[in-house]
A = this chain, B = another copy of it.
Amino acid sequence: MRCKQCKEKAVLFMPAHRLALCKGHYPSWFRKQVQRAIDRFRMIRPGERVLVAVSGGKDSGALWHALHHLGYETEGLYMHLGIRIEGYSDQSYEAVCRLAEKLGRPLHVVDFQEELGMGIDEVRGATNRPPCSACGLSKRYHMNQAARRLGFSVIATGHNLDDEAVTLLNNVLAWNTEFMVRQAPVLPEDEGFVRKVKPLIFLEEKQTTVYALVEGVPFERDECPFSVGSTNLHLKDVMYRLEAHSPGTKRRFVEGFFQWRAQWLDKALKTKPDLRACAVCGYPTTAEVCAYCRLKAQIQRHLTIVS
């Protein structure tokens, strides 16, 4: 397969776009897609500083690199989850540090061991809660709190098209409409919440991987050890089959949903919950104490009993 622009050897063929590009032309095409998503959904305001949530993986690494080279003023936020299995968190942290250095941009770190009193891999033993649920909750919490503390009005995350399609399929299979309402390219700022944006929303996992490889973005190749055997991986396989049978399926699925969501949203949001400040930390919540503070309290009780 040859590059459409210069006939050099192509580094990637994209059936849904009917496009093959070489390693010289691919990165700028990729960044143009990122810029297009940012413009279309008005993700970032002119002159706005962007906090990029980086995990050490290829997606968020490619995102930080692309935003930086598109001229955005970015800083990184790494959440050290304290997962010791196979040295996962330390290795991810190392990749993120190398990227920050390569880009010459500041990196902020939230350490779960310090914040929660233990790493995510110990949470199940302490609270009987599945690690992915505690992890998601804590990451959302700290992402928002760090952005506010550091004076950012927008956080960018590395969710790609495959992630969005799998999440949507999972939600649609059970018609979890309250989750579906919250699935969007942009979650606008709201009382106590910083705007959250997904500039890679229409880029496939394969595309972010190739960008990271071609641009020499350092990233950790191992998946999170807790993801093995998860429903998400199963749905990813299902989505892969659907896409292989009919290229463009993922994009149609996610794009069609966003259009439908926009029509339906005004009705759905009538049921928007009343938020108040958490009695412990001030984070917006529907309860007296927010879910994160309750998790933390549960861990504290466990640690007191054990010690």
CB atoms of A177 and B241 under 8 A apart: no
User: Given A252-B174, A264-B264, is A246 in contact with B259 using a C-beta cutoff of 8 Å?
Assistant: no
Given contacts A175-B259, A252-B174, A264-B264, contact A238 B242 (CB under 8 A): yes
Q: Indicate whether A174 sits within 8 Å of B256 (C-beta atoms), given known contacts A231-B245, A245-B231, A264-B264.
A: yes
Asked whether A245 lies within 8 Å of B234 as measured between CB atoms, the reply is: yes
- What distance in Å separates the Cβ of A84 from its nearest Cβ neighbour in chain B? 29
Which residues of B sit under 8 angstroms from A245, Cβ to Cβ?
A: 231, 234
Are B231 and A173 touching (Cβ within 8 A)? no
Q: Is A172 an interface residue (CB 8 A)?
A: yes
> Is A252 in contact with B173, judged by CB distance below 8 angstroms?
yes
Q: How many copies does the complex hold?
A: 2
Encode contact with B along A225-269: 1 for CB under 8 Å, 0 otherwise. Answer: 000000100100110011001100100110011011000100100
Size class of the contact patch on chain A: 20 to 34
A242 contacts which chain B residues (CB < 8 A)?
A: 173, 238
21 contacts between A and B (CB under 8 A): A172-B172, A172-B253, A173-B242, A173-B249, A173-B253, A173-B256, A174-B252, A174-B253, A174-B256, A175-B252, A175-B253, A175-B256, A175-B257, A175-B259, A231-B246, A234-B241, A234-B245, A238-B238, A238-B242, A264-B267, A267-B267
A-side residues, CB < 8 A to B, are 172-175, 177, 231, 234, 237-238, 241-242, 245-246, 249, 252-253, 256-257, 259-260, 264, 267
